[in-house]
């Protein structure tokens, strides 16, 4: 077996011990020097073994301590139903309070020139040079103080510039959610549309969410509309091993006349 693949049977052996429970959650895995001695491999091969298990989400490295079998959190859910948003206020905060938890968030807002993908979602015209045309806000949502999900939202400045809601998290209507905030400037949000996909977590997202390399995240690309006019769009990133996404639909159709 060549040097480039010598890590595979070692990683397989440790993986089997983790999956079978022989190595339980929180147990310390062999260190790089211990793997080198036990299997007569190089430092590079030993590091590849541990990195493979980390990337697969089975292990987590703790600086100055070692690599450990990763604890798997109990799978919970986040409410994404449209009817929850219609009550006004933050849907995330309402969802957390409804289950006896505290929903809070950190944020950073700034004007920006929308990317081509965001321009398409918001039906924006081509920018005038580098002139900013959206308010971009980055969020880190927390449940009982622990990171739960990330989001980045974009709102067209042609709708909000010069109004009390131009900053989503500052001013008299801060933190009320898109539906209630838009209502303050005479815009009635009628519906939203989500595209949901899954991908590997990025290094930056892993740091923010206290997650591991190799984790899978669910990504919702959500756009709010006032009839056919997009008024806000956002990318929402949720760890797939912590949360399921709960959707529901309200039925408003009138009964048929016979």
pLDDT tens digit string along 5-33?
Answer: 889 999 999 999 998 989 998 999 999 99
Pairing of strands 134-143, 146-156: antiparallel
- Same domain (yes/no): 91, 41: no
Task: Please check whether residues 226 and 98 belong to one and the same domain.
Answer: yes
pLDDT digits (tens, 9 = 90+) for 89-138: 788 888 898 889 999 999 999 999 999 999 999 999 988 888 899 999 99
Residue 251 domain-assigned (yes or no): no
DSSP single-letter state for residue 70: P
Domain match, 61 and 92 both = no
> 60 and 13: one domain?
yes
* Whether residues 152 and 190 fall in one domain: yes
Residues 12, 56: contact at Cβ < 8 Å?
no
Please report the pLDDT score of residue 34 as a whole number.
95
Same domain for 105 and 185, yes or no, is yes
The answer to whether residues 91 and 64 belong to one domain is no
Both 100 and 135 in one domain: the answer is yes
Chain mean pLDDT for the chain: 90
Same domain, 116 and 142: yes
Strand partners, 170: none
Q: Which of 46, 69, 92 is the last residue of a domain?
A: 69
What distance in Å separates the CA atoms of residue 197 and residue 217, rounded to the nearest whole number? Answer: 8
pLDDT above 70 for 86 = no
- Whether residue 171 sits in one domain with residue 107: yes
Judgement on whether residues 172 and 193 belong to the same structural domain of the protein: yes
Q: Count of CB atoms within 10 A of residue 58's CB?
A: 20
pLDDT at 1: 58
Whether residue 83 is predicted with pLDDT greater than 80 in this model: the reply is: no
Q: Is 70 exposed, middle or buried (0-12, 13-18, 19+ CB in 10 A)?
A: buried
Among 129, 133, 81, 92, smallest CA distance to 111 is for: 133
For residue 223, CA distances in Å to 107, 165, 193 come to 19, 18, 5
Residue 220 is predicted with a pLDDT of 96
The last residue of one of the domains, among 69, 85, 106, is: 69
Return the beta strands (E) in the chain as ranges.
59-62, 66-69, 76-79, 103-112, 134-143, 146-156, 191-200, 216-226, 229-239, 243-246
Q: How far, in Å, are 9, 54, 63 from residue 145 at the CA level?
A: 40, 25, 22
| pLDDT tier for residue 253 given thresholds of 50, 70 and 90 | low
Q: Classify residue 233: in a domain, yes or no.
A: yes
Determine the pLDDT at residue 118: 97
- Could you give the 3-state DSSP secondary structure of residue 43? helix
Of 36, 51, 69, the last residue of a domain is: 69
| pLDDT tens, residue by residue, 124-162 | 998 888 889 999 999 999 999 999 999 999 999 999 999
Which of the four pLDDT bands, split at 50, 70 and 90, describes residue 187? very high
- Token pair, residue 40, equals 């007569």
CATH number of the domain encompassing residue 82? 3.40.1410.10
Q: Which range of residues forms the domain containing residue 199?
A: 76-246
Q: Whole-angstrom Cα distance, residue 128 to residue 49? A: 51
- pLDDT for position 35: 95
For residues 141 and 50, membership in a common domain is answered with: no
Q: In terms of pTM, does the model score above 0.95?
A: no
The span from the CA of 138 to the CA of 58, in Å, is 29
- Count of structural domains, the chain: 2
């Amino acid at each position: 077996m060549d040097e480039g693949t010598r890590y595979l049977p070692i990683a397989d052996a440790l993986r089997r011990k983790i999956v079978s429970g022989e190595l339980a959650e929180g147990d310390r895995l062999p260190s790089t020097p211990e793997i080198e001695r036990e299997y007569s491999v190089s430092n590079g091969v030993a590091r590849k073994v541990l990195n493979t298990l980390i990337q697969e989400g089975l292990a987590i490295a703790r600086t100055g301590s070692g690599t450990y079998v990763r604890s798997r959190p109990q799978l919970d859910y986040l409410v994404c139903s449209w009817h929850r948003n219609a009550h006004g206020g933050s849907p995330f905060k309402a969802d957390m309070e409804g289950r006896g938890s505290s929903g809070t968030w950190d944020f950073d807002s700034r004007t920006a020139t929308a990317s081509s993908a965001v321009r398409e979602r918001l039906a924006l015209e081509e920018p005038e040079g580098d002139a900013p045309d959206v308010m971009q806000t980055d969020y880190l949502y927390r449940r009982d103080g622990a990171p739960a999900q990330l989001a980045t939202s974009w709102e067209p400045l042609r709708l909000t510039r010069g109004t009390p809601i131009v900053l989503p998290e500052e001013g008299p209507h801060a933190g009320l959610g898109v539906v209630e905030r838009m209502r303050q400037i005479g815009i009635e949000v009628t519906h939203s549309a989500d595209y949901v996909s899954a991908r590997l977590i990025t290094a930056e997202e892993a740091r923010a969410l206290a997650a591991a390399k190799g984790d899978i995240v669910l990504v919702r690309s959500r756009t709010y509309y006032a009839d056919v006019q997009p008024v806000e769009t956002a990318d929402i990133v949720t760890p797939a091993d912590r949360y399921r996404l709960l959707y529901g639909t309200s039925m408003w159709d009138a009964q048929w006349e016979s």
